[in-house]
Amino acid sequence: MSTNTQKLRVLRSRTDHDLLVLVSRELDHGITMTDVMTTRNSPLFAQARRSYETATSILPRISGLSQDDRLRIEAKVKELRARLDQVPVYANVRSFLVSVAS
């Protein structure tokens, strides 16, 4: 194996690792956003959806994932997707009676 080929393999391995970290952080960020949002109209919902889209678009480009890493990341993807699907379109609004003293 030539030196250049070895260098490219090392570089690819580092790139895959960095992409894995990026995907994991994006998914964690999205999951965190789903904990604090109230409706799909929230800017936090848009951030969480963007995190999901970013992670799922990068994931297929990571070639050197171990089976454990792939399963862990896919579980996070499914969790975030499920949380996004559970966010209500509108918030529940409760009415309160107002009493006015005259």
Q: Per-residue pLDDT tens for 22-67? A: 999 999 999 999 999 888 898 999 999 999 999 999 999 998 889 9
Q: Which pLDDT value is given to residue 84? A: 95
- The model's pTM is 0.80
* Cα dihedral sign, 74-78-79-83: positive
Reply yes or no on whether the pLDDT at 16 is more than 60. yes
- In a domain? residue 100: no
Number of independent structural domains in the chain: 1
Q: How far apart are CA 35 and CA 24, in angstroms?
A: 17
Alpha carbon distance 34, 49 (integer Å)? 9
* Residue 48 in tokens: 């969480």
The answer to whether residue 59 sits within a structural domain is yes
Res 17 pLDDT > 90: yes
59's tokens: 């994931």
pLDDT mean across residues, the chain? 89
25 found inside a domain: yes
Which of left, alpha, beta for 74 (phi over 0: left; psi -120 to 50: alpha)? alpha
